[in-house]
Amino acid sequence: MLQEYTIAPDFELYATPDQKLRLSELRDRKVILAFYPADWSPVCGDQMSLYNEMGKYFARHNAQLIGISVDSKWSHMAFAERNRFNFPLLSDFEPKGEVARMYGAYDGKTGECRRVLYIIDEKGIIRWNYISPVGINPGADGILNALEELDNKKSINHEPVNGTHQQP
Amino acid sequence: MELINSHDHSVGPANAPLELVEYGDYECPHCGHAYPIIKEIQQRLGDELRFVFRNFPLARIHPNAFAAAVATEAAALQGKFWEMHDLIFEHQRALDNDNILLLAASLGLDAEQFETDIHKQSLSDKVETDFESGIRSGVNGTPTFFINGKKYEGEWLGSQLLEYLQKELRLEVSAGDE
């Protein structure tokens, strides 16, 4: 797992069959990176379906959700259509799991991503991470708490100027 | 979990030793399976149990779930929340708008009032408040149960939830004796 306050490694992956998305294109917004094992989880308690209901809550914090798994872009397309997802699913398919490995989210035994969450701030810095136990959908409360904390900190502290923090 | 409050719909005595809160979605098949199980549990535990239902509609995969939740709130305004809750679960595969109106009519609800109420912002807000309280409490799918404020992570199919509650009840009773 990458630690808080490290720079989020940039990457570019397919978001649709013919379009790629680069992480750094999302600067100026927070990014919630959700690595998950596989498309087509059979239960209503599916993590991505839950997050799909969260758009309004994430938007309050200027945050964009992105799902990542090793499934192909075609699987993602069908999965997103079926569940009416309104956020991108990225395909970490070739070389398989390369981005997940970079983020410490690859499980070499199963060949799938672990359920790992990151929040990256507007400047591309990792500010929160979470790994959930195998088979457990982590819900969204941790993400919301972390987003709130980030926004609270920002309103209290001055932005760093020339690399030094100004005390209020 | 958010404590049971005056906005909740509950069955059973306020001082019951067991509080069971369900976060559910009227179009979720698992919640549909849970519905008769909860009925049985209520029957078996009687006054030992207070049951609360809170809305957690996954509206994008279940297109009628949100409107169905609002419909139960509209029925509540005419004093028939639980009747509507039950009827909707018993017809959970046919919850389009026309059917909802038929269900409301079959309960003898004032149709004009009901149709006005289901468009009220305050009722949508109530459903969303439930949803948000669920998110905040770590609800990650439906149904999710809380027993005396604590998330229940065990199985609920068959008699497993009933057995767990009975065990909890014995613990509550013996703790009260000390």
Q: What is the pLDDT of residue A42?
A: 62
Q: What is the pLDDT of residue B75?
A: 98
Give the nearest partner residue to A137 out of B59, B60, B140, using CB atoms.
Answer: B140
pLDDT averaged over chain A?
91
Choose among A70, A4, A8, A50: nearest CA to A33.
A8
CB of A130 less than 8 A from some CB of B: no
Split at pLDDT 50, 70, 90, the class of A155 is: confident
State the smallest CA–CA distance between residue B25 and chain A in angstroms: 10
Question: What order do you get walking across the sheet with B150-151 strand by strand?
Answer: B9-11, B49-55, B18-24, B144-147, B150-151
Tokens describing residue A17: 């069959």
Question: Cα separation of B58 and B80, whole Å?
Answer: 24
Q: Do B38 and B143 form a contact (C-beta atoms < 8 A)? A: no
Q: What H or E segment, with its residue span, contains residue A82?
A: helix A73-83
pLDDT digits (tens, 9 = 90+) for A93-119: 999 999 999 999 999 999 999 999 999
- Specify if A79 maps to a domain: yes
- Specify if A162 maps to a domain: no
Question: Cα separation of A17 and B135, whole Å?
Answer: 32
Q: Which of residues 126-165 of B touch A (CB under 8 A)?
A: 131-132, 135-142
Whether residue B140 and residue A50 make contact (CB cut-off 8 A), yes or no, is: yes
**The CATH number, out of the four listed (3.70.10.10, 3.40.30.10, 3.90.550.10, 1.20.140.10), of the domain defined by the range B26-177:** 3.40.30.10
| Residue owning tokens 């399976």 | B33
Q: What is the pLDDT of residue A16?
A: 96
Parse chain B into domains and list their residue ranges: 26-177
Which positions in chain A touch B132 (Cβ < 8 Å)? 57
Q: What is the pLDDT of residue B178?
A: 60
- Specify if A4 maps to a domain: no
Residue A163 pLDDT > 90: no
* Domain at A44, CATH number: 3.40.30.10
Question: Cα separation of A151 and A149, whole Å?
Answer: 5
Q: What is the pLDDT of residue A167?
A: 47
- Specify if A80 maps to a domain: yes
Q: What is the pairing mode between strands A89-91 and A63-69?
A: parallel
Q: Do A77 and B158 form a contact (C-beta atoms < 8 A)? A: no
- Domain range for A43: 12-156
Angle among Cα A125, A131, A134 to the nearest 5 degrees reads 155
Give the nearest partner residue to A141 out of B30, B138, B141, using CB atoms.
Answer: B138
Q: Do A15 and A89 form a contact (C-beta atoms < 8 A)? A: yes
Question: Cα separation of A138 and A143, whole Å?
Answer: 9
Query: Cβ-count burial of A122 within 10 angstroms (0-12 exposed, 13-18 middle, 19+ buried)?
Result: middle
Give the nearest partner residue to A44 out of B59, B131, B141, using CB atoms.
Answer: B141
Split at pLDDT 50, 70, 90, the class of B172 is: confident
- Specify if A111 maps to a domain: yes
Helix and strand counts by DSSP (H, E) for chain B = 7, 5
Whether residue B136 and residue A141 make contact (CB cut-off 8 A), yes or no, is: yes
Quote the number of domains for chain A.
1
- From A43, A44, A156, A161, active-site residue: A44
Residue B7 pLDDT > 80: yes
Tokens describing residue B28: 């979720």
- Specify if A105 maps to a domain: yes
Whether residue A137 and residue B141 make contact (CB cut-off 8 A), yes or no, is: yes
A44 noted as active-site residue: yes
| Residue owning tokens 């020339």 | A162
Q: What is the pLDDT of residue A164?
A: 46
What's the mean pLDDT in B106-114? 98
Residue A165 pLDDT > 60: no
